[in-house]
Amino acid sequence: MSSSIPPGPSVGIIANPASGRDIRRLVARASVFQTAEKVNMVLRVASALAALGVARVLLPPDLGGIAAGVLRATQGAVQAGAALPVLTFLDMPIEQTAVDSERATRAMVEAGVAAIVVLGGDGTHRIVAGSAGDTPLATLSTGTNNTFPELREATLVGLATGLLASGRLGVAEACRRNKQLVVQSGTRRELALVDVAVSPGRYVGARALWQADSLAEVFVAFAEADAIGLSSIAGLLEPVGRSDPHGLHVRLDAARPAFTLTAPIAPGLLAQLPVAGHARLLPGEAVAVSLPAGTLALDGEREIEFGPGDRPRVWLAPHGPLTVDVPATLRLAAARGLLRQPAPTIAPA
């Protein structure tokens, strides 16, 4: 929208136009996350960033209507006198794949943004985190699997990100370091933010993994008891917090189950799972996948096909992505009066 670069901090916003639209929305009767709401969320974030002095917001182009909707709404808001940062759309090709998010993230990091706000599910956040390095992420859930991004009002995420970007709070105060899972299969290495599931199916197919009978193992970095998705299997066995130093490994075996567990593996989809056992996953402790061949799903989506020669291994790494801790940041802002302004001086009559 603008070729000039104003002085002051900048923030990137990546909104995945495809998030919340995979096959799990059909089989589990979950609602589709509309493009119009994603546009509104981007605008609410931008308004909060402007209030904290963020001068520029970088956004990727897309063919899903988000960029066009933001541009139209912004033009109307400017005409109405609303305060918004200068919006700059990245000059990049669009492939309508995960490559778009990777490319946008790298461009934002190279541009020196103070943080990247991400609208998407676990898969979107995984892609962005893989290219963000130590640039903090501010997470907003708009996907099917929303375990890593917490459900929160976009205005509050914008305020917390603005406090960080403007320098009112430092990274050590405003952000937390997350765990992640590392997968090595042959020469290929990938990361997962929440879970890695092992399936005997040999083909990636529709990517989204939602059939209970296609699960052999689940590895999790963290798993809350009230989670939705594959991590709920671990969360209902032995909850693991985001700050706990370990993860969990769950083995499923219909031939030799120790017991059956009822778990919500997708919104509205409850499965009966034959649990053979589970154990804590310690940092750096590589665990070999039990199946000789199959697929690996990272954060709910099939990504890797493997055979006997690949010998996949999974381990927990404590040095994962940085994310803005919205509640902690806003508590600090309240305690230090960071959102207060002096009352205007009233001249005597």
- Asked if residue 111 and residue 123 are part of one domain, the reply reads yes
Examine residue 2 and state whether it is found in any structural domain, yes or no: no
Same domain assignment for residues 192 and 91: no
User: Which residues does 83 contact at the CB level (< 8 Å), separation at least 6?
Assistant: 47, 50, 51
* Secondary structure of 182-217 as H, E, C letters: EEEECCEEEEECCEEEEECCCCCCCCECCCHHHCCE
Distance between CA 319 and CA 98 in Å, rounded? 23
Residues 147 and 271 in one domain: no
Same domain for 158 and 192, yes or no, is no
Q: Which domain holds residue 260?
A: 180-317
SS3 of residue 123 by DSSP = helix
Q: What was the pLDDT predicted at 258? A: 97
In-domain check, residue 304: yes
Structure tokens at 200: 């005997």
| 78 pLDDT tier (thresholds 50, 70, 90) | low
Asked if residue 346 is part of any domain, the answer here is no
Residues 259 and 287 both lie in one domain = yes
pLDDT recorded at residue 74: 84
Q: Residue 69 falls within a domain, yes or no?
A: yes
Angle, CA of 181, 185 and 186, to the nearest 5°: 145
Q: Are residues 167 and 199 in the same domain?
A: no
Give percent above pLDDT 70 in the chain.
Answer: 88
Residue 30 is predicted with a pLDDT of: 52
Answer yes or no: do 279 and 325 share one domain.
no
Is residue 1 a part of any domain in this protein? no
Structural domain includes residue 341 = no
Q: How far apart are CA 109 and CA 206, in angstroms?
A: 31
Confidence of residue 203 (pLDDT cuts 50, 70, 90): low
75 in a structural domain: yes
Q: What is the CATH number of the domain that holds 122?
A: 3.40.50
**Which pLDDT belongs to residue 23?**
45
Number of domains in the chain: 2
Asked if 278 and 236 touch (Cβ cutoff 8 Å), the reply is no
Question: In sequence order, which ranges of 122-245 are alpha helices (DSSP H)?
Answer: 122-132, 154-165, 171-174, 231-235
**Do 149 and 204 reside in the same domain of the chain?**
no
Could you tell me if 213 and 307 lie in one domain? yes
Residue 204 and residue 214 in contact, taking contact as beta carbons nearer than 8 Å: no
- The CATH number given to whatever domain includes residue 292 is 2.60.200
Per-residue pLDDT tens for 266-309?
888 899 999 999 999 999 999 999 999 999 999 988 889 999 99
* 328 and 268 in a common domain: no
For residue 22, what pLDDT is reported? Answer: 47
Check whether residue 192 and residue 330 sit in a common domain: no
345 assigned to some structural domain: no
Question: Could you give the angle at which helices 66-79 and 35-51 cross, rounded to 10 degrees?
Answer: 50
Same-domain status, 228 and 166: no
